[in-house]
Amino acid sequence: MKRVSFYVLLLSFFMFSCDRNKSNIPIFSYKLQKEGVQKLKLGINEKENQINFEYLHEKDTVKEIFLKYNPEIDVLILELDTFQHIDKSYDSKSLNFKMYQSKNSKEQDRSLVFNSKYGLLASLAYGADFLFLKDSVSTNDKELIFKGIFLEMNKIHIE
């Protein structure tokens, strides 16, 4: 009986630990002002107090993105920039994405649209707007998603 309990415990530990790391999730990256798509692979690695998201380009290592999320303080770190949660969000059909903006106000405004289960949906900066989708979409769908994000970003809350 002790052996059975040990194997059940060992098996359940293995099953739960496997769910924390996911890799090679296909991602399609779209740019607002350009036709075409870039293919990336997403790797998610959960640690005690942060979740790491690695977006790897198949051919160009310069286009790789390494994003860290700290759920305890609700902060994103991308390269040397820290992004704080702002009081805006974007609702897709199935998920709610929070919006984050860079703390450094000296540089151009840069915003990220993010969900801790999905990862990065959009990176928005002057002239460099990108979508990161798990499915391929048409040009019209891409533009509708961008439009919805921009409308939510610029919505004024009047009370």
Instruction: Provide the terminal-to-terminal Cα distance of the chain, rounded to the nearest Å.
Output: 63
pLDDT at 84 over 80: yes
Considering the chain, what percentage of its residues have pLDDT values greater than 90? 47
Q: Is the pTM of this model over 0.75?
A: yes
pLDDT at 37 over 80: yes
Residue 42: closest CA among 75, 66, 13, 16: 66
Structure-token pair, residue 71: 């759920």
Give the DSSP letter of residue 50.
-
Banded pLDDT at 58 (limits 50, 70, 90): confident
pLDDT at 149 over 60: yes
pLDDT at 15 over 50: no
Longest dimension (CA), the chain: 65
Banded pLDDT at 14 (limits 50, 70, 90): very low
